[in-house]
């Protein structure tokens, strides 16, 4: 009981410190000029198609398909991207990490 009382008093110190003059926060300033409101049409729509052998996630903006993520049951996922907008999808290396060449100190003085 003797140990519990000082711990409770220490825990109550922040509450006593808050009893001072509380003032409301200032109003949020307006956004800077040139910033547009959130446009849902620019957000990608994602359609998920599940099959026995794979799961496809189709990404569209304004109804136009621009990327497909294919996740097979066995193996890593890969992306097909329409880079030029002509309907020809090319496999993209989105998940690969950048190449880090080995670097050694050859000589120092």
pLDDT tens-digit readout, 60-70: 988 889 999 99
Burial class (CB in 10 A: 0-12, 13-18, 19+), 11: exposed
Instruction: Walk along the chain (109 residues) and give the pLDDT tens digit of each residue.
Output: 677 877 877 777 776 666 667 788 899 888 788 776 776 767 888 999 999 999 999 999 888 899 999 999 998 888 999 888 888 888 887 656 667 778 788 888 7
pLDDT at 56: 95
pLDDT at 94: 67
User: In which region does residue 66 sit, left (phi positive, over 0), alpha (psi from -120 to 50) or beta (all else)?
Assistant: alpha
Which residues on adjacent β-strands are paired with residue 80? 68, 91
pTM of the predicted model, to two decimals?
0.52
Q: List the structure tokens of 18.
A: 């808050």
């Amino acid at each position: 009981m003797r140990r519990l009382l000082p711990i409770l008093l220490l825990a109550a110190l922040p509450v006593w410190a808050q009893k001072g003059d509380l003032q409301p926060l200032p109003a949020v300033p307006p956004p800077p000029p040139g910033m547009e409101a959130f446009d849902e049409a620019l957000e990608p729509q994602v359609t998920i198609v599940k099959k026995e052998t794979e799961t496809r996630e189709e990404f569209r903006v304004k109804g136009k398909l621009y990327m497909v993520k294919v996740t097979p049951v066995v193996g890593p996922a890969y992306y097909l991207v329409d880079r030029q907008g002509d309907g020809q999808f090319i496999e993209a290396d989105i998940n690969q990490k950048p190449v880090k060449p080995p670097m050694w100190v050859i000589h120092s003085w």
